[in-house]
Amino acid sequence: MPPKPLDYESINENVKRAQYAVRGELYLRASELQKEGKKIIFTNVGNPHALGQKPLTFPRQVVALCQAPFLLDDPNVAVLFPADAIARAKHYLSLTTGGLGAYSDSRGLPGIRKEVAEFIYRRDGYPSDPELIYLTDGASKGVMQILNTIIRGQGDGVLVPVPQYPLYSATIALLGGSLVPYFLEETANWGLDVNELRQSVTEARYKGITVRAMVIINPGNPTGQCLSEANLREVLQFCYQENLVLLGDEVYQQNIYQDERPFVSSKKVLMDMGPPISKEVQLVSFHTVSKGYWGECGQRGGYFEMTNIPPETVDEIYKVASVSLSPNVPAQIFMGLMVNPPKPGDISFDQYARESKGILDSLRRRARLMTDGFNSCRNVVCNFTEDIMHDCLCLGAMYSFPQIRLPPRAIEAAKQAGKVPDVFYCLKLLEATGISTVPGSGFGQKEGIFHLRTTILPAEEEMPAIMSSFKKFNDEFMEQYEDHRGYSRM
């Protein structure tokens, strides 16, 4: 009897090719251990509220009123909710055609797209067209939609940074395209070298691949670096020369913990460069409510903005968006609130500012605790001095990506167990401590060099104990496998 259509041997090979380490073997094992009663600390994914971050009050008040509009008619509503939250809820409800339970335009509510455009104008100093902004179910859905538009088949390649967020490798695999890696340089604070880009494109073309797009993740995930304006100009010049569309993943733009290198958007740098580049380079930029001090991952709100994309292509993207009918409407309201928060003088401004600052300040302190903790561990390298140590984790983003210098005997033991060495290490860490991380191999890394990624999101008061537990495990692991003849090095 022939295999049935959904028997494993019959399913789409692209589905089998796709890998997503953030919810891969480590996560599945952690979930099993949790079911068995073991306490698990899920630092594998940037999911702030799951690790104790409190939601901001004002957006939750507004969305609560939008979800239950009958509360607006209650005579006591002004006792429970501030006047500005009530006004904003009425505003957003007026933008819908039947409340939060009704479909919106497939691009998102026009009024909220206008708020996003105004946010981009305030941020960059250049106009933004709401008709070229699409609201999406998280930034990931937007990324997938644009890659689906770009990739025509296996002969089409996309330049992706390594280490990279595996959304890109997984989506490119699902769509049958080719990932073209370009390596970030760990010894230069995960910097981007245009010569590396040229080499990657040359090698891809030699293999018959047509490179059509380039991805930048700024601030970086998992590496946390923030690209300078000079670096962004180099990237945009490169895309102009090579006729590439640039995909700017900018979802961590609120997660900046220092003043020396602020976030600068790709759109601003592109416009600053002027013609012909500002009129020619195609750019799609992505943002979300899931990161920053909002951390509203479960709401699934995002947007993308298109620059220099022909109207005919925009129409095709609209057509495909229409297949899903409508992005999540409550998440659209969260997006509106993120890009248009309370202003000085508003009733809720002081509380909003206090809560936002409190979250960012705590993330900064947790970054210090984690960096210091890793640097105290045997064969764990977070190679930056105290005065610039934020670069190790967090010029931006919410992760640490330390290098683990595994002894040869540990690498051999991993081989005997049929595991990639950093997977072997992370599984041992999970079993011993309950700390669930992601091995660096899930993001890509140079041959013979090993990392893990962990978030800096566990509760601040729990961080010393977590790092103490990590250090105890790591140092015992190194003692077990170290033969004092060396270990993996850069």
Average pLDDT over residues 390-403: 62
Model pLDDT, residue 23: 66
**Does residue 299 contact residue 331 with C-beta atoms inside 8 Å?**
yes
Give percent above pLDDT 70 in the chain: 94
**Secondary structure element (H or E) that encloses residue 58, with its range:** helix 57-67
Please, what are the domains in the chain? 8-39+353-481 (3.90.1150.10), 99-339 (3.40.640.10)
Q: Nearest-5° angle of CA 449, CA 455, CA 459?
A: 145
Residue 111 in this model has a pLDDT that exceeds 90 = yes
Average pLDDT, the chain: 88
Distance CA 390, CA 256 (A): 10
Residue 203 in this model has a pLDDT that exceeds 80 = yes
Phi/psi at 162 (5° precision): -125, 120
**Helices marked H in 151-260 — which ranges?**
167-174, 194-206, 229-242
Q: Which residues does 360 contact at the CB level (< 8 Å), separation at least 6?
A: 254, 255, 257, 293
**Picking from 125-134, 379-388, 395-404, 475-484, which range would have the lowest pLDDT averaged per residue?**
379-388
Average pLDDT over residues 267-278: 97
Model pLDDT, residue 22: 62
pLDDT band at 366; cut points 50, 70, 90: confident
Beta bridge partners of 210: 156
pLDDT band at 223; cut points 50, 70, 90: confident
Residue 419 in this model has a pLDDT that exceeds 60 = yes
**Two tokens at 108?**
């998102």
Helix axes 167-174, 138-150, angle to 10 degrees: 40
Query: How does strand 156-162 pair with strand 178-183?
Result: parallel
pLDDT for 53-84, tens place per residue?
Answer: 899 999 999 999 999 999 999 999 999 999 99
Query: Is the previous residue joined to 439 through a cis bond, with omega within 30 degrees of 0?
Result: no
Residue 395 in this model has a pLDDT that exceeds 80 = no
Residue 391 in this model has a pLDDT that exceeds 70 = no
Average pLDDT over residues 425-444: 89
Higher pLDDT, 189 or 392: 189
Is 455 strand, coil or helix?
strand
Average pLDDT over residues 230-252: 95
**Two tokens at 99?**
């409340």
Distance CA 418, CA 423 (A): 10
**Two tokens at 235?**
């990237």
Radius of gyration of the chain (CA): 23
First to last CA, the chain: 53
Phi/psi at 330 (5° precision): -55, -35
Average pLDDT over residues 313-339: 95
Residue whose entry in the numeric block shows the structure tokens 């079993």: 431
Residue 19 in this model has a pLDDT that exceeds 70 = yes
**Does residue 130 contact residue 304 with C-beta atoms inside 8 Å?**
no
Model pLDDT, residue 445: 80
Residue 129 in this model has a pLDDT that exceeds 80 = yes
Model pLDDT, residue 96: 95
Higher pLDDT, 165 or 22: 165
Query: Is the previous residue joined to 276 through a cis bond, with omega within 30 degrees of 0?
Result: yes
Residue 46 in this model has a pLDDT that exceeds 60 = yes
Give percent above pLDDT 90 in the chain: 59
